[in-house]
Structure 1
């Protein structure tokens, strides 16, 4: 029976593809776990905030939007990752590759820009600008602008990414494989410039978020510190009355005891107790203000934490995108273990979509109680 060279190459390519699929099983399992957790968590958030919560406050307006974006981002990202894991050397659909890259990029940008819009909204509310809140029309226009801007920024992916031929070695044979990645015939400077532009946009967004939330936390701390001083400031009249009714003998006895202890111990113990008491008072005051801020401004703290985790999860991906655009053979030179580790880092931003529902559960007491009622009812 005669087997053509093309058929033999296809057989070898299938063997290489299957071997690679086995080495990527840990990453595939991780992506499946991310997808399942994101669908359950964000689906619960959407259901509870849309149908179970009676009070539609200004603080909660962007939460269902962010949950929906996170769900779509994780679904597209996980589908893309799983399809590439099952076809690392045999991905032969250029159009699907281009569409998945573009959709994934646009929805990821939408999530990041939505966090920036939330930070602006929190700043307006805390600093009491523009009647302390964004109007409903402004919020809707913001969401529409974010979607349009994300799509426009992601359009270059239709040109930069697609079906890519990979040269493989198998038993002294050279075999052509197919992968979904950066197109080889595209201008490498254009690809590198696009990746650097995304990095600069990401860093600019992070810098803007840091400034906004620093201003927000500063305003909140000043407000609560000022309110606490006014609330607990002692009344001079009441102090004078208490002083008049207090016994003179007791005051004299306390002073003499203080002088006696100071002469006996050289004053060191008393001064040490006084200084430690002052430090403890300052620390306890600071801790009380922080606890009050966390309790009273929990939505601002919640979105601040979500933003930090999002920035941490996206930076490694963009860094690897720059490396792979600068070094064309970056992924080819990695061992199987290094490849799996780099791939987990590259796709680690999906973890952000899983963590957000947990953060809502911790900080939003109304959402938490609604979830508890659903669980008890079921």
Structure 2
């Protein structure tokens, strides 16, 4: 191992010198392992937080994927991006906390450079894809709401944009594999000087190329976030202006009333309306009608006024939902990026704080995971149909007889 090579590189060739060096090496290794255990105990609060986030994130996004793929598999135009977001969130809730746990468990004895490089790349890749996907969603929502009579994004366009953005993110992050290395840090513990190994993306003696790369990476991510924010500001103005007008004109239906109206007449329900609109958009995609806003298309369908109001409320829910997802993503992702930028050349930053401050720093640094955990709860709050199917799924599981009873009855 690299650690063994470091400890043995200056040993004496004589038998007595060899035994002494081996004894010193064994002593230093035991001290280093003891120091690593001490750091792990100090980081235990953050470890518990990351385990909880992993648990709720994996369970929540698994439910989202099951419901959307099995019960809402038609993927209407409003929900098109949600399964892709859920896949990214699921991966992020597995990869991010796992890497955090490895860093806490092997703070100064990180075992492998390959694991270090792979986990850094995978963690950044899931976060980068999430940010780019929200950017595509913002463009789509902006065109539909603020430019309703201009050319709109079809399913084909959405797939192309996602493929392009994912390819760009993957290529941008590829150099990180070469710049992330195991870093050697000298510590003094119990009056002994030991050399620890940590996984870090920044080298205090980094080259000009590394500095330029990390600067460009942060700049591109910041630009995507800013552009997404600008688009959502425009979307938010229109959405809340419409909500304000509706409150002035009449009392908007409550979520219970909307949910009741949806179930009351399935033939004229919101979901039949969405299927009709989707079919109309697909059939006329080669004509100018497919470029019109969804709201103008629903008027062509000649819906009852009550269903038109229900559908508008339903669609506004999706605008607010994606706006909420973006806000949570930004609030949780930006601090993590700032920590990387501020501590670019300070590998020892995570070892220079007392217990409370250390866990606060670690939690804020890894705050990006919270966004991926919260998204399923955001879907459940705004998407009443999703919530209904989740409840139905759990009720079905609760009513299912035990496995042994099934065998006995058969």
- Please tell me the TM-score bracket, short chain as reference: 0.7 to 0.9
Question: Match for 1:155 among 161, 174, 190?
Answer: 174
Q: Corresponding residue for 1:203? A: 222
Q: Corresponding residue for 1:346? A: 365
Question: Match for 1:164 among 173, 180, 183?
Answer: 183
**SS at 2:136 equivalent:** helix
Q: Corresponding residue for 1:320? A: 339
Does residue 92 of structure 2 align to residue 73 of structure 1? yes
Which string of whole-angstrom CA distances, capped at 9 and with x for unpartnered residues, describes residues 248-278 of structure 1?
A: xxxxxxxxxxxxxxxxxxxxxxxxxxxxxxx
CA distance in 2, matches of 1:137, 1:219: 27
CA distance in 1, matches of 2:337, 2:200: 15
CA distance in 1, matches of 2:244, 2:32: 68
Does residue 388 of structure 2 align to residue 369 of structure 1? yes
Over aligned residues, Cα RMSD in angstroms? 2.7
- When Rg is computed on C-alpha atoms for both structures, the one with the higher figure is 1
Alignment of 1:208-287 (within 5 A): 208-220=227-239
**SS at 1:325 equivalent:** coil
Q: Could you say if the C-alpha distance between residues 220 and 20 of structure 1 is closer, same or farther in structure 2, counting changes exceeding 3 Å?
A: closer
Question: Match for 2:144 among 96, 110, 125?
Answer: 125
**SS at 1:4 equivalent:** helix
Alignment of 1:175-194 (within 5 A): 175-182=194-201, 184=203, 187=206, 189-194=208-213
**SS at 1:179 equivalent:** strand
Offset at 1:22?
0.9
Q: Could you say if the C-alpha distance between residues 230 and 360 of structure 1 is closer, same or farther in structure 2, counting changes exceeding 3 Å?
A: closer
Offset at 1:19?
0.8
Does residue 65 of structure 2 align to residue 46 of structure 1? yes
Q: 1:199 touches 1:319 (CA, 8 Å); kept in 2?
A: no
Q: Corresponding residue for 2:116? A: 97
Question: Match for 1:335 among 325, 331, 354?
Answer: 354
Q: Corresponding residue for 1:106? A: 125
**SS at 2:78 equivalent:** helix
5+ residue gaps, structure 1: 233-290
Does residue 54 of structure 2 align to residue 26 of structure 1? no
Offset at 1:182?
2.9
Does residue 312 of structure 2 align to residue 300 of structure 1? no
Worse-matched range after superposition: 118-127 or 19-28: 118-127
5+ residue gaps, structure 2: 1-18, 252-309, 398-410
Q: Could you say if the C-alpha distance between residues 132 and 368 of structure 1 is closer, same or farther in structure 2, counting changes exceeding 3 Å?
A: farther
Q: Could you say if the C-alpha distance between residues 33 and 228 of structure 1 is closer, same or farther in structure 2, counting changes exceeding 3 Å?
A: closer
CA distance in 2, matches of 1:182, 1:148: 22
CA distance in 2, matches of 1:177, 1:304: 44
Offset at 1:147?
1.7
Offset at 1:58?
0.5
Compute the TM-score of the two structures, normalised by the length of structure 1. 0.77
CA distance in 2, matches of 1:12, 1:225: 65
Q: Corresponding residue for 1:62? A: 81
Worse-matched range after superposition: 175-184 or 11-20: 175-184
Question: Match for 1:141 among 150, 157, 160?
Answer: 160
CA distance in 2, matches of 1:105, 1:157: 9
Offset at 1:152?
0.9
